[in-house]
Structure 1
Amino acid sequence: MAHVFRAALRCALGSGLLLAPALAHAEEAQAGAASCPAERAVYTLPSEEGDIHASFIPARHWPSAASDLYFKLTTPRRDYWFSFAVSNGYSGITLLPVGNPYDPAAEDGGPASLLPETESPEDQDAELELLAKLRFLPLDANLMVAENPPSAGQEAPPYLMTPELGEALWYDVAMLTPDPEAEADSMPRGAFRITGCLAEAPAKAWP
């Protein structure tokens, strides 16, 4: 899957239209991130249908070996929740869709995974295709990609990119939310920029 990640990174970061606004705000974002831990950071991606927000939500324990934070995406339609996975080698960080970790049902074993069951080669192909769209790129002020997602207490990255998540929200939304009536969601391809720092971190989620 490394070639998929490299191709997505070249596509997302190679466009001057995406980099120009990010560079224009680099100093501002760096100053904001320097005094903001990841679990208090608020990120915004402008959209014609309404701004899309992202944040890191602390867990009581580690929902994955990669981070003790969840990634929460909020569109005008609904919230989406993810834990993190980090692959060996060059493949990078991947978002893993899960249910709401604040739900009481998540208290014992954590939120349910929303990845499709892989009972056949076709199911495995569907899972790999979805995961290829869920790459997560935390960027520093120089637009360099971090190797790992942040954990609680660490400095918030000034920028975040999820280059193919918009495609997944449009074509595969049923695999990103437990809502059985969910319809395709719209998200432009661009960089989230840190736009605020909460006075207090959100309450810790399960598990």
Structure 2
Amino acid sequence: MEGKEPQLKGIVTRLFSQQEYFLQMHPDGTIDGTKDENSDYTLFNLIPVGLRVVAIQGVKAGLYVAMNAEGYLYSSDVFTPECKFKESVFENYYVIYSSTLYRQQESGRAWFLGLNKEGQIMKGNRVKKTKPSSHFVPKPIEGTRETHSLSPLGVLLRNRTCFRHECACTESHRCMKLEKNKDALEKVQGHQP
């Protein structure tokens, strides 16, 4: 089916939530969380579709994660604007995914992808960026793609780039922003494969 092919090449990854669940998409398109790290349904293509904007496509189902105007997550067999998520690195070095289309009308607050403490998906307008329900660590699968991602977390962890003041931190140079948050960075790096 033509709609199941990714529009662009993506990085195959697992999205590990701070709630200690892996995001998964079942063959029927149902989205939830699981503790089973080895489930094939936890594999997603993170496809860059703009600057810090990604599409999240289930590898096995071939469907895209999308958010509708009411904030509900669903799976789509074709790529639409509802399938675009802004990928941002939060202060604690977790990644948050927000709808590029929808937000609170009055406050302008973004709607986020999130899993609750039971591993169930949450309505986007009920998820706050400061809460663990919205915090994810992408865990790329080794050897699945050799090209570069536009993912800020990928750049952050591989090159130790600090986005706050545009320096490329290396082993010989540690910027003060990263040094202050060393514990948080090491915690996130500990979740990498």
Could you state the TM-score of these two structures normalised by the residue count of structure 2? Answer: 0.27
Higher RCO, Cα 8 Å, sep 6+: 1
Which one has a larger percent strand, Structure 1 or Structure 2?
Answer: 2
Q: Which has the higher helix share?
A: 1
TM-score normalised according to structure 1 size = 0.26
